[in-house]
Chains A and B, each alone.
Chain A
């Protein structure tokens, strides 16, 4: 979708035309969902937040002004911010889920057997904290600093976790 097409859709939304929103939905559903999923790393939460994102886009269309960076970056920023807000609100729950994994002594990369497994299985071998960093970095296209800020963790910790995650995935044949 070009910038002009996107602007046209936003104008249609302003006039209450739902088809304008549906055109954006068809074009950018996967893009928005992936970004959100990369932050929240949960299918259910990603679906809820993605739905909320398009509803919010409908509501804010009246005040929308064409962005200098392009509409795709604009959509990504809005989606990422929504996901990060959600993450901050549910931070305590996420940390609680992380603790058992952090304490698992068998979670070291060296101890894993290299085999030809699927990505989903390979990702499941990562710690939750590592999976979150990988998702944010790959799916949401966030910088390490943005990830560190979003997770309220030191930048070094974030990069170290990302490096460990990639080494584990490499053992499963992913580069």
Chain B
């Protein structure tokens, strides 16, 4: 009698298989229905952490950049403003120092503050603005001033250091000086004296060595000279009146003039 070992062996084991379900069920851990939901709920939390970690470097970079801008911008602005202010401040003293130095130089050499003179003798906006006098010329003026102060205080145009200039003193500068100043004015002022003719108001007339001299206030615009409201100052120099003048010189007269060498030629009387 042949027996099937494999089949009988399996069947024998199966016959002995106990019911294990109660043991198994007792050992099962509860899987709540909401557990998947909870897992899903946990996932965003897990995701949030790396997201935060990823954002942090960006946030850090942005924050750092913002902080740098916040700190750097005011510093840059303040620095720029300070530079501008420094430039402005430094420019003013330089000009002042330059003018002061020129005035001092003129004052030391001649005793006359020509700069002050020219400032006082400013005609108007369109009139002549004189540059500081050269040392030599100012020196001559200063020497003359001492001799003429008693003679005619009218010409004691206020000079620095108490020096007074009398344009009619023997050694005083002549019209050449005035003409040169006018020439300087032609180059250096906003008003270009390109015209051939100028206008002058004769303030005083003196005869020295049989030659007629005058002091004048000049302008290229006759209306300025004739306007009583205009405070046009007289140049502190004497000008020789050319014999070729067409009209006779008279104090207080307003003339159209031209220069002939260091002399002025009175071409026409305007009043």
- Chain B residue numbers with a CB within 8 Å of A22 are 21
Is B20 an interface residue when CB atoms closer than 8 A count as contact?
yes
Q: Give Cα A118 to B196, complex, Å.
A: 156
Chain B interface, number of residues (Cβ within 8 angstroms): 29
| Other-chain contact of A138, B10, B14, B20, B28 (Cβ < 8 Å) | B10
**Which range holds the interface residue count of chain A?**
20 to 34
- Asked if residues A119 and B10 are in contact (CB atoms below 8 Å), the reply is no
Q: Give Cα A138 to B30, complex, Å.
A: 37
Main SS of chain A's interface residues? helix
Closest A residue by C-beta to B30? A16
| Other-chain contact of A119, B9, B27, B28 (Cβ < 8 Å) | B9
- Asked if residues B5 and A16 are in contact (CB atoms below 8 Å), the reply is no
Among A28-36, A89-97, A102-110, the stretch that binds chain B is A28-36
Is B16 an interface residue when CB atoms closer than 8 A count as contact?
yes
Is A173 an interface residue when CB atoms closer than 8 A count as contact?
yes
- Chain A residue numbers with a CB within 8 Å of B36 are 14-15
Q: Give Cα A29 to B6, complex, Å.
A: 18
| Other-chain contact of B23, A51, A116, A138 (Cβ < 8 Å) | A51
- Asked if residues B13 and A175 are in contact (CB atoms below 8 Å), the reply is no
- Asked if residues A51 and B20 are in contact (CB atoms below 8 Å), the reply is yes
- Closest chain-A Cβ to B259's Cβ sits at a distance in Å of 116
Q: Give Cα A30 to B2, complex, Å.
A: 25
- Asked if residues A175 and B2 are in contact (CB atoms below 8 Å), the reply is yes
Q: Give Cα A161 to B32, complex, Å.
A: 50
- Asked if residues B28 and A29 are in contact (CB atoms below 8 Å), the reply is no
| Other-chain contact of B13, A13, A16, A33, A59 (Cβ < 8 Å) | A33
- The B-contacting residues of A in range 9-43, CB under 8 angstroms, are 13-16, 18, 21-22, 25, 29-30, 33-34, 37, 43
- Asked if residues B24 and A33 are in contact (CB atoms below 8 Å), the reply is no
- Chain A residue numbers with a CB within 8 Å of B21 are 22, 25
Known: A55-B27, A174-B4. 6 other contacts (CB 8 A): A18-B25, A25-B20, A51-B27, A58-B31, A139-B9, A175-B3
Q: Please name the 3 residue pairs, one residue from A and one from B, whose CB atoms are nearest each other, closest first.
A: A16-B31, A174-B5, A55-B27
Q: List 24 A-B contacts (CB under 8 A).
A: A14-B31, A14-B36, A16-B30, A22-B21, A25-B20, A25-B24, A29-B17, A29-B20, A30-B13, A33-B17, A34-B10, A34-B13, A47-B20, A50-B20, A54-B24, A58-B28, A58-B31, A119-B5, A119-B12, A120-B12, A134-B9, A173-B2, A174-B4, A175-B2
